[in-house]
A and B are shown apart, each in its own frame.
Chain A
Amino acid sequence: MRVAPLSSSTIIAILCGLLLVTGIGALAIGATGLGFGAVFGTDASGDVARLVITQIRAPRVAFAMLAGAALASSGAVMQGLFRNPLADPGLIGVSSGAALGAALVIVLGLGGLFASWAVPLGGMAGGLASTALLYGFSTRDGVMSTNTVILAGVALGAFSGALTGILIFRANDTALRDLTFWTMGSLAGATWTRIGLLMPFLIVAAVLIGVLATPLNALLLGDTDAALMGYRVERSKRLAMLGVALATGPVVAFAGVIGFVGVVVPHLVRLMTGPDHRVVLPCSALLGAILLVCADTIARIVAIPADVPVGVVTAAIGAPVFVWLLARAERGDAPS
C-alpha cells in the first residue's frame, strides 16, 4: 500500500492555496492583456479594465470553480455509490437528459426572446427528469438496484441520444451550431446572475453530498454490510442520486457537457488521500475547481480571440489521463 505522506488536512490546505493562486492567475490572464496589476487594482488601468475583471473574467472563473467542484465531487459520489471506478455523473442520465432538453429548446425555438435562459432551463429540466426516470426504472419495492441503474442508464442515454439525433436532423444551420457548441461545453456564458441561479442548487447538493461521506465509506463494503452496520442504504442511494442530479444538472444545463472532470479528478484525489470519502469529497471538489479553472483559462487564450469550448480542453487532457488510469487498472494496481 502506498502510505499517504501528507495528512489529509495538509492536502486540503495545499489544494485551497492552489485554488487561490489559480483563481488569481486566471483573473490576470485573458484576451485583453490585463495583468496582475489590474486584478489587484494597483495600476492605472481604469474603469474598462475593472469592468473586464469584475464582470467578464471573475464570473467566469467563479463559474469554472463551482462547475469543476460540482462535477468532480459528483463523480466521487458516483464511484463510491456504484463501487465502480469508472462511474461518472453522466451514468445517471443527467448529461444525456440535459442535452435532450437543451436540444428541444434550441431546435424547436421554444425560448423565443428568452433563449439565453430557456436553453439552460430546458437542460436542467431534461437532466432532472432523466434522473427521476432512471430512478423509477431501477427501483422495485423501495430497493434500488445499482446494476439496473448502470444498464438502464446506458439504454436511456442511447434513447435520449436518438431523440437528440432526430432534433439535429430537423435543425437549421443556426440551431445546429448552437447545439454543437452546447454539447462541447463552454463557460463563456457565465454571468453573476447565472451563478446566483446556480447557487441554491449547489448549496443543497453540497449539504446532501457532505452528509453522505460516512455512508459512502460503508457502501464501499457492499450494500449488505452497510445495512448491517446500521446505515440506511436505500435512503443514502436516493440522496446520492438527488445530490448528483442537483449538482450536475444545472452545471451541464448552463455550461454544456464537460467531460472527464467527474471521472479523472476523484482518481487523482484517491491517489493522494486514500478512499475515505470524508477527505475524498472535499479534495475532489477543490481539485475539480482548480483543474477546470486551468482548463478554461487554456480555452480562453489558446486561440485568441476565439474561445475554444472548455469540454474540448478537458477531454483533450482528460482522455489520455483516463487511458493511463485504465491501463493501471488492467495491471491490477488501480488507484481507486
Chain B
Amino acid sequence: MSATFLIARRELGAYLRSMIGWVIIAGVLAVDGLLFNAFALGGGDKRSSEVLSLFFYFSSGTTMIASVLIAFRLLAEERQTGTINLLYSSPIRDGEIVLGKFLSALAFLAIVTLATGFMPMLVMIHGKVSYGHVAGGYFGLLLLGSATLAIGTFGSALTRSQVLAAILSACMVVAMLVAWLLGRITERPLSEVFSNLSLHGLHFQPFQAGIVHLRDVVYYLAVTYVALFAATRVLEARRWR
C-alpha cells in the first residue's frame, strides 16, 4: 500500500510541476466560467436550484474531458520515456502501479473540480440552495470523473504513444456516453441495458439535482474497478511480450 501512496504522491507532484497540469486547471475554469455565465445565469429568470443543476450538467462535460486529458499520459508516458522499467524492476505489484497512478489523477481532478467551487458559492450568496445539493453534485462529478479517469488509465496502458492513448481513451469514453442513444433506438430489454450502461444520462441526472442513489454510486465505482483491473492485466501481459 505504501508503494501505491509513493507513486501517487510523485505523480501528483509531476502534475503540479508540469505545464499540462496548469493548462488543464486553467482550461476547466475558463470553460466552466463561460458556460456558467452564458447558460446557468443567463437566459431569463431561474430558480437557484435550476442554476445549480445546469452548472453540474455542463461541469460533468468539462470533468469528463479533463479526465481524459489527465489520464492519457499516466502509463503511456512511463513507457515512452522508459521509466516504467523503474517501476517494473521494483518490488511492487502491477496493481499498485495502476492504483497509484489512478489515485494521483483522481486527487488532481479533485483539485481541478473543487477550484470551480466559487460558482455554486455565488449562487448560494445570491439565492437559496441547500448545501446538500452542492455536495451531492460534486460527489457525482468526482464519481463520473473517477470512472472516466479509470477508462483513461486503461487506454493509457494499451500503448506507448501518448497521442494514441488519448484517442483510444476518448473513443472509449464517447462510446460509453452514447450508449443511451442505442437505448433509445432499441427494444426492451436491450434498451434498458444500454441506457443503464451509459456513463452519463441515467446515472448522472440524479446527482445534478443533488440526489445520491446507491445504484449510481455502485455503477461508477464498478466502472472504475473494471477499467483499473483491465489496466493492471494489460500491464502484467506486457511482461510476457
* B is a partner of A: no
